[in-house]
């Protein structure tokens, strides 16, 4: 009984300390947004009044007001966030949130489990995947590594940027170190999977293959470097498991000799600290457990089908 009380007290204390950091960042965020809104409204009102000739200043007077408004906009956009220390406050809050609630849950879920908020993944590791090679930039965070059912894996949030217009995509990527029966790469792409705002295109030198599972073929396109190799690999049991797998977003799969990569498209970064909602340990732990379940279910697909 005493032990339970101590755990509850510690949990409440952790929530309070994390919420205190959240409020500090939230206050800075509100100040920045209110001041910026006032400046932009004042600029808009001035432009309207000048256009309707309600204000008739001299050329010099008009130029001075415009200059002051431009300076105010510059200060709001670039200098005020720095003055309010928004970056450092958000970093302190986010790190404390993940250290207090996410890290223990994620590390306890797996053998050799390890969580790193800002794990640096080498460009070589990222660009090994043929899809990532097309990206202009790739940034990874919230990395989970571990072993499940004797299969080592690495999972991380991935922000990809494509093209000059900076079209981007937020993804989750899970790389499992597992020996397959393949001699060359096979790609299985969900028909609803888009990356950088674009449909995924059939890669050069790959051929499209079909399975014996109509439901699977209606949901996915399969590309293989070697048609015979890919056809032998794509057994009905694998197709059925993938068709039933729920990842919480459109998926793309990359099978190679020594590893399998799963990319899940998301509308937003996973496991991020809430800003406008009060922090609750139960909600944070549930979010972490949801990510754990996706990893486990995916590896179980691989264990059963490869």
Number of neighbours of residue 191 by Cβ within 10 angstroms: 12
Half-sphere exposure in the Cβ direction for 297 (13 Å, CA): 14
Nearest to 251 by CA among 162, 200, 189: 189
Q: What is the CA radius of gyration of the chain?
A: 25
- Tokens 């008739």 found at: 56
Local confidence band at 5 (pLDDT 50, 70, 90 cut-offs): very low
Note the pTM of the prediction, 2 decimals. 0.80
Q: How far is CA 97 from CA 100, 138, 288, in A?
A: 5, 24, 12
Asked if 170 and 266 count as a contact pair (C-beta separation under 8 A), the reply is yes
Distance CA 65, CA 60 (A): 9
Asked if 195 and 162 count as a contact pair (C-beta separation under 8 A), the reply is yes
State phi, psi for 148 to the nearest 5 degrees: -135, 125
Residue-wise pLDDT tens digits, 186-235: 999 998 887 666 677 777 888 999 888 888 999 999 999 989 988 888 88
């Amino acid at each position: 009984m005493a032990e339970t009380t101590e755990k509850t007290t510690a949990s409440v204390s952790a929530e309070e300390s994390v919420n205190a950091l959240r409020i500090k960042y939230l206050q800075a965020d509100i100040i920045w947004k209110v001041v910026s809104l006032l400046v932009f409204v004042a600029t808009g009102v001035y432009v309207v009044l000048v256009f309707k000739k309600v204000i008739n200043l001299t050329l010099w007077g008009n130029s001075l007001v415009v200059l002051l408004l431009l300076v105010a906009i510059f200060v709001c956009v670039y200098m005020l966030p720095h003055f309010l220390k928004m970056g450092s406050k958000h970093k302190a809050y986010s790190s404390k949130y993940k250290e207090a609630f996410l890290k223990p849950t994620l590390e306890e879920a797996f053998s050799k489990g390890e969580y790193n908020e800002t794990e640096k993944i080498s460009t070589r590791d990222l660009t090994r995947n043929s899809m990532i090679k097309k990206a202009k930039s790739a940034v990874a965070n919230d990395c989970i590594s571990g072993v499940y059912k004797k299969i080592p894996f690495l999972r991380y949030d991935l922000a990809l940027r494509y093209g000059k217009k900076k079209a981007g995509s937020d993804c989750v990527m899970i790389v499992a170190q597992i020996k397959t029966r393949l001699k060359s790469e096979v790609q299985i792409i969900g028909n609803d999977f888009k990356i950088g705002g674009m449909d995924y295109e059939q890669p050069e030198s790959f051929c499209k293959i079909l399975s014996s599972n109509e439901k699977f073929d209606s949901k996915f396109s399969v590309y293989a470097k070697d048609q015979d190799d890919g056809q032998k690999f794509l057994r009905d049991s694998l197709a059925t498991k993938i068709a039933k797998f729920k990842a919480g977003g459109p998926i793309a799969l990359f099978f190679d000799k020594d590893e399998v990569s799963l990319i899940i498209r998301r509308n937003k970064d996973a496991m991020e600290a809430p800003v406008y909602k009060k922090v609750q340990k139960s909600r944070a732990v549930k979010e972490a457990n949801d990510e754990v379940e996706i990893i486990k279910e995916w590896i179980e697909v691989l264990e059963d089908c490869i």
